[in-house]
Amino acid sequence: MGGWEGGIRVPGIFRWPGRLIPGREVAEPTSLMDVFPTVVKLAGGTLPEDRILDGRDLMPLLEGRTNRSQHEFMFHYCGMYLNAVRWHPPDSDSIFKVHFFTPNFSPAGAVGCYDTSVCMCHGEFVTYHSPPLVFELSGDPSESRPLSPDTEPRLAEVLERVERAVTEHRRTLTPVERQLTWAKVLWKPWLQPCCGTFFLTFFL
């Protein structure tokens, strides 16, 4: 399941001779959603203003103008379900990760969903946590030691701040029409080009 750090910490490589410093390493988390605003700005375009964009311009990080990601919060989904939230508080080296549910690995004792071939995101395939599991990633990147009030005095503050961030995040979500209905995926010959190789092959 991508909510664990092993599925999130995937390296990316950027090369731009004359612009980016060769060999520079950036350990801050970014997202594929950051590619869109980065490319639009580099091309001199204008970002749409009729919607909220979750991506951030990567160039300040890539060029070394900042050492901190613009993502104070990152929201990790398993399918359509919000699985975990990462919080890097401003002016702090702490990185908290809050898990609302975790997968039930199978068979028992495994570290993956081998019986089902893929980790499912709902129902009996997951365990919901109330209160959520919280980890401090800078000291525990393997997410093996959940925090407790005894080990982290700020635990209640972390959960309260993440809960507010989730509420704010969900306010920005706008439902869209389902893209994979039968009416949309069935082949429509009347929408195909009227000429070309495909047309000739089909009718000859």
For 85, the 3-state DSSP assignment is strand
pLDDT tens-place string over residues 149-195:
999 999 999 999 999 999 999 999 888 788 788 888 888 877 776 65
Tell whether 185 is covered by a domain.
Answer: no
Q: Which domain holds residue 122?
A: 5-174
Total-model pTM: 0.81
pLDDT tens-place string over residues 85-142:
999 999 899 999 999 999 888 888 787 788 888 888 888 899 999 999 999 999 999 9
Other beta carbons less than 10 A from residue 71's beta carbon: 19
Closest CA to 121 of 12, 34, 2: 2
pLDDT tens-place string over residues 77-86:
998 899 999 9
Number of domains in the chain: 1
Task: Report the C-alpha dihedral over residues 28, 100, 131, 164, rounded to 10 degrees.
Answer: 60
CATH of the domain at 14: 3.30.1120.10
Tell whether 180 is covered by a domain.
Answer: no
Q: Quick one: DSSP state of residue 124?
A: G
- pLDDT at site 88: 95
Tell whether 201 is covered by a domain.
Answer: no
For the chain, give the longest Cα–Cα distance: 76
Phi and psi of 168, rounded to 5°? -65, -40
Distance CA 37, CA 59 (A): 10
Q: Any residues with CB less than 8 A from the CB of 156 and at least 6 apart, and which?
A: 149
Distance CA 144, CA 136 (A): 10
